Amino acid sequence: MIEILGYLASVFIAISITIKGGLSFRILNMTGSVCFFIYAFFIGSIPVAIINIYGAGINMFYITKEIKKLKNS
């Protein structure tokens, strides 16, 4: 069952890297990172959890920045 979450995370990441940047890329990539973090937690992989929390944080920073830019337009 938990492997499904890992596969789902892979799909989100794979789709996100085919998109040309922007908010859609960040949202899909962050979703994949969060899924990978949960997956890593359940399989007990600390390195995978750490890098995906880092990735989610970076994505959240840029998502917030993009949303602020859209509000000011």
- Give 18-57 pLDDT, tens digit per residue: 998 889 999 999 999 999 999 999 999 999 999 999 999 9
Q: How far is CA 12 from CA 20, 47, 50, 63, 72, in A?
A: 14, 20, 18, 16, 29
For residue 20, the 8-state DSSP code is -
Q: Number of folded domains in the chain?
A: 1
Claim: this prediction has a pTM higher than 0.75: yes
Look at residue 1 and tell me whether its pLDDT is greater than 90: no
* pLDDT at res. 73: 80
Domain range spanning residue 33? 2-72
SS3 19: coil
* pLDDT at res. 60: 97
